[in-house]
Amino acid sequence: MSTASQNLDRQRIDKWLWHARMVRTRSAATALTTAGFVRLNGKRMTAASHPVRVGDVVTLALDRVVRVVRVEGLCERRGGAPVARRLYRDLTRDSASGAFNPRGLVG
């Protein structure tokens, strides 16, 4: 992350999902958000332009997996996987055991 990107205080939810590599394309992030599959701090988001800030909790329903992450950073450009992993902390837990499940995998 560059110095300029550390000065960001908010970012569009669709752009953040794409930068954090939760989805493959920004249009997929927009589609998930407008379809209501994204929650920000427990509230369903239907506008892809809604801002996300550091400290917000994002819940994302993907296929058969629900991921819960806390926003740890914002960036101006999409980087590689190591950069993307620094943008969030995964809070997803296996619902059956309550154990930490960093990839959100079931089973």
pLDDT in tens, 40-77: 999 999 999 999 999 999 999 998 899 999 999 999 99
**Is the pLDDT reported for residue 97 higher than 60?**
no
Cβ contact 49:38 at 8 Å: no
Pick the more confident residue, 87 or 102: 87
Quote the pLDDT of residue 105.
45
Domains of the chain: 3-90 (3.10.290.10)
Torsion, Cα 45 71 105 93, to 10 degrees, reads -100
Instruction: Characterise 74 by phi-psi region: left (phi > 0), alpha (psi -120 to 50), beta (else).
Output: beta
Give the list of residues 6+ apart from residue 98 with CB closer than 8 angstroms, or none.
none
**Predicted confidence band of residue 7 (pLDDT cuts 50, 70, 90):** low
pLDDT in tens, 14-32: 999 999 999 999 999 999 9
Compute the average pLDDT of residues 3-20: 82
pLDDT in tens, 68-81: 999 999 999 999 99
pTM of the model: 0.80
